[in-house]
Amino acid sequence: MTVRRDFKEPARYRPDQVIGREELFSDAREQLARGGSVLLHGPAGIGKSTVLRALAAENAGAARTVLRCSATESESHLPFLALADLFGLVVDEVAARLPGAQRTALESALTGRGESTLQRDGLALRLAVLSTLRALAAEGPVLVVADDLQWLDPASAELLGFAARRLGDSPVRMLCAVRTDGEEYGHDRHLRACPPDTLAVRLGPFSRTQVSALLDHRGYTGLSRSTVRDIHRTSDGNPLFALELGRALAESPARPRPGEPLPVPTSLRALVLSRLEMLSDEARRTLLVASAGARPTLALLHAAGRDNAEAETAQAAALGLLATDPEEPALRFAHPLISAALYAEAPARERRAVHTALSTAASDPIERARHLALAATGADPEVAARLAEAAALARDRGAPSVAASLGLLAARHTPADGEPGPDERRLQAAEDAITAGEVDLARDIAREVLTRATVPAQRVRAWMVVIEAAGQALGEVDAVFPQVLADAGDDPRLLALVHYQLAWREVVVDGDFAKSRQEAAHAAELAARGGDRRTELMALAFQSSTETLMGHPDAPATIQRALQEPQDPDVACHHNGAAMARFRWLFMSDQLPEARTAITALLREARRRGMVESEVHFSRLLADTELRFGHCGRALDLAGESLRLARDSGIGESASAMLASLAEASGGDVERAVALARESADHAEVDGDQLYLSLALAALGYAQLVAGDAQAAVRSLRRVRDLEHGMGINDPARGRWQGDLAEALVRIGEPGEAQELINVTRVHALRLNRASVLAVLDRAEALVRAARGEHQVALAQLTSAQERLRRLGFGLEEARAAFALARLRSRGGQGASGYEEAGRLFRRCRALPWLRQVEQAVAAGPAEADPVPAAPPAVLDGLASMERQVAALVMEGATNREIAGRLFISVKTVEATLTRVYRKLGIRSRVDIVRLAAGRRAP
């Protein structure tokens, strides 16, 4: 394809800002920083020039000379043109330093005078280019920036490649970009024009999340997630094509109807229509049928009346319009844009004729109904009924997004006085959209219905969609509840729906679990009275979940009530259903194998049914379960999958980021863990979601503890303690943060507060029989006792805690207990053998951040028996607890690395703490601290 250069860009566009290429950009940046060269490659419109401009802007300041060229197809036949672009402005600077023959040949090539050719002046020209680059490099670093290498005139490409291969250690870097349409290794031949160490960076298609971010960045906001999904599919992730499609939608007064492809702007149609014009009329009609079909095959084309389909599709394949694959019976366009442009270009009458043919030719009933709708015009009860049946079939197949699309088509063809009416079908489509994770579409449908609905049941149903679409941001729809209560009147079925949502509101917005439990119980009672078994089951499941988190004694009985027959199949695998409540109970009761079996089955069923929101949550919860087992690698994969799906759908982002943080802190990158936890907390703060805010802060505290920043961990986890106390959450198995806070408190020299926390938490853990929590509390209490000098008691308590955690199957917590035991034994002069056991357990878990801590502890050597040595009070009284500990260890002569190992913190934290100590004590160095310890004044 030839990409035009006249695409419009909004005023806010910044060419140096790279979206969606952060990792690739980082790799290229590092290569250039090392003095290497970079070749960017990929298909047209994939963003090579954007990345090239950004890298060039970033690296230009470090170069004394920047040479640039940007070739075009129309000029590629002109010899030495690229060479003139590169050297035209600098040749006078170096000409005097070139040998005569080289200077003459180069000037002749650059000016066009003397008719220099590679055949006649080949060697002189090659050496002249090499000498010029070396002469420029002798004055300082040189950066050569060349875009669109594929259009480089052959003479310039040959000369540049000759020089690039011989530059050696000269400080010359090359930053190039080349188009490689449909060729996986098409860039290889262009590497000959680059130095031997060149890094080839392939730019692939954007994900849906990246396309969404790009559209938003360029000003095309307000597009629904379903529209962004269609843009991503039609553009095939090509950023340039996605932007053009977004621009066309933003400028269009009307959006495409359900089932119709996106409008393709003229700027993109021009990319493919030139080749379409080379088709015969009959071949073009055959391709139009293929573009309208969901999965076109030769058999389908024949059934639709295209008798010469084989020859006509072969002609299209020869022109590069169709991609051929002998293993794949379905026909595939070389790019989705070709199909979209072909369809957009066809007259409406011709499109309807194609859909009429396909409405009988297609074998799938859902596909036949869709074509029937697109072929029809105006209201038609028979077409509407066929579409409604197809939507129900799609729903049963686990394709709620398809069901929503078909439902909207059914509503469009339903007569105003039909039964069910058009708005009934719209509301069903909205509920299908919610299930599919297309919350923007669902909200828009419900809001439209509310503008005209007068029947209470319809209004309440529409309000429920609006509330569901708000997700965790229930505070944003607070004003809805008085309206929906008024619409519900005294109908128990309608009131049950409202009070179920009010139960959620109480816990998410106000953090009041007691009131939330009352609302859920009231909703279950109303639903039972009104004969609404589905809402009754959902309310009972939610009531049992709140009771579980509160540590309420009725929780097991309520779960059993929620699991009684008759059951509703949709509730059975819903992320807020009774099976989910049972999983939560198993998980918090330390029954990990049973919990894993339960959540795996729920995830499988949610995927089969296309329940996106449930899939997001079940993936996350399975990751959490694997993390408790100590399977950190598996947890990382599952948490990443949940987070990607959450970001794509806009559902459960806070919860998924929170779990991804825990997984990263345990088995991945600690800095990323901290960033993810902050992202999760920010989401929850914006949504006003107290429930997930406490979990996000617990994840943040854990990540900070693993990173060695005990002070920050204490701040985060103290806030979790306050939030959960305010919400009435008493079950310590909910977030399992208490042991981390106690450990962090010991590290900053607050063992008293740590012991108080342990005592309070132990009361609840004993009452609820939370064996794993009790073992972790014992591990933390052993650290308190060690800090107080009770060495033998601490050893016994840690040994017991490790064994109990092993029996329970909590692999990571077992490894942490072994690590604490190794540290304590090291302080007691018992050697480093315990570290081998801790390292083995952490390796088994693939807990890389913890394994690095073991290695640091071994490198630091044996620690003293007392991890918090007493400090001269008169000298250090004005310091914070961590500052006192660090200063006291300096007074003993400990190095920064030794201090880090003994206090469970990083060397960087030690250095930052010492800086604060110097400032507060009015001194300048470690030597001054030692002088103070000896009672001498610092100079």
More confident residue, 113 or 919: 919
- The pLDDT of residue 738: 95
In the chain, % of residues over pLDDT 90: 36
- The pLDDT of residue 772: 95
**172-179, strands of its sheet edge to edge:** 65-70, 142-147, 172-179, 38-42, 199-202
Q: What mean pLDDT is reported for the chain?
A: 84
- Position 75 confidence tier, pLDDT thresholds 50, 70, 90: confident
CB atoms within 10 A of CB 71: 21
Q: Is the pLDDT of residue 74 over 90?
A: no
Q: Is the pLDDT of residue 872 over 50?
A: no
- The pLDDT of residue 863: 52
Residues, the chain: 939
Residue with tokens 């005139």: 153
Nearest one of 239, 264, 273, 340 to 9, comparing CA atoms: 239
Residue with tokens 């059993």: 560
- The pLDDT of residue 780: 95
- Position 869 confidence tier, pLDDT thresholds 50, 70, 90: very low
Count Cβ neighbours within 10 Å for each residue of 231-253 and write b for 16 or more, e otherwise.
bbebbbbbbbbbbbbbbbbeeee
Question: Once rounded to an integer, what is the mean pLDDT over residues 611-634?
Answer: 92
- The pLDDT of residue 151: 85
pLDDT, one tens digit per residue, over 814-855 is 999 999 999 888 876 655 567 889 999 999 999 999 999 998
Q: State how far the Cα of 707 lies from the Cα of 671, in Å rounded to an integer.
A: 8
Listed in sequence order, the DSSP H helices in 509-610 are 513-530, 533-550, 555-562, 569-572, 578-588, 592-609
- For residue 262, the 8-state DSSP code is P
- Position 69 confidence tier, pLDDT thresholds 50, 70, 90: confident
Count Cβ neighbours within 10 Å for each residue of 518-552 and write b for 16 or more, e otherwise.
bbbbbbbebbbebebebbbbbbbbbbbbbbbbbbb
At position 894, the amino acid (one-letter code) is: A
Q: State how far the Cα of 370 lies from the Cα of 509, in Å rounded to an integer.
A: 42
Among the residue ranges 7-16, 479-488, 588-597, the one predicted with the least confidence is 7-16
Beta carbons of 52 and 177 less than 8 angstroms apart: yes
pLDDT, one tens digit per residue, over 94-148 is 888 888 888 888 887 777 665 555 555 678 888 988 999 999 999 999 999 998 8
SS (H, E, C) 617-638: HHHHHHHHHHHHHCCHHHHHHH
Q: State how far the Cα of 897 lies from the Cα of 900, in Å rounded to an integer.
A: 5
pLDDT, one tens digit per residue, over 363-399 is 888 888 888 888 888 888 999 999 999 998 888 877 8
Widest CA span of the chain, in angstroms?
Answer: 103
- For residue 748, the 8-state DSSP code is T
Nearest one of 256, 267, 205, 209 to 9, comparing CA atoms: 267
- The pLDDT of residue 925: 77
At position 574, the amino acid (one-letter code) is: H
Question: DSSP labels for 428-486?
Answer: HHHHHHHHTT-HHHHHHHHHHHHTT--SHHHHHHHHHHHHHHTTT-GGGGTTHHHHHHH
- The pLDDT of residue 82: 84
Question: CA dist 131 to 101, 163, 480, 701, 748, Å?
Answer: 12, 8, 76, 59, 63
Question: CA dist 161 to 63, 149, 167, 316, Å?
Answer: 21, 12, 10, 37
Q: State how far the Cα of 57 lies from the Cα of 842, in Å rounded to an integer.
A: 44
Q: State how far the Cα of 54 lies from the Cα of 40, in Å rounded to an integer.
A: 12
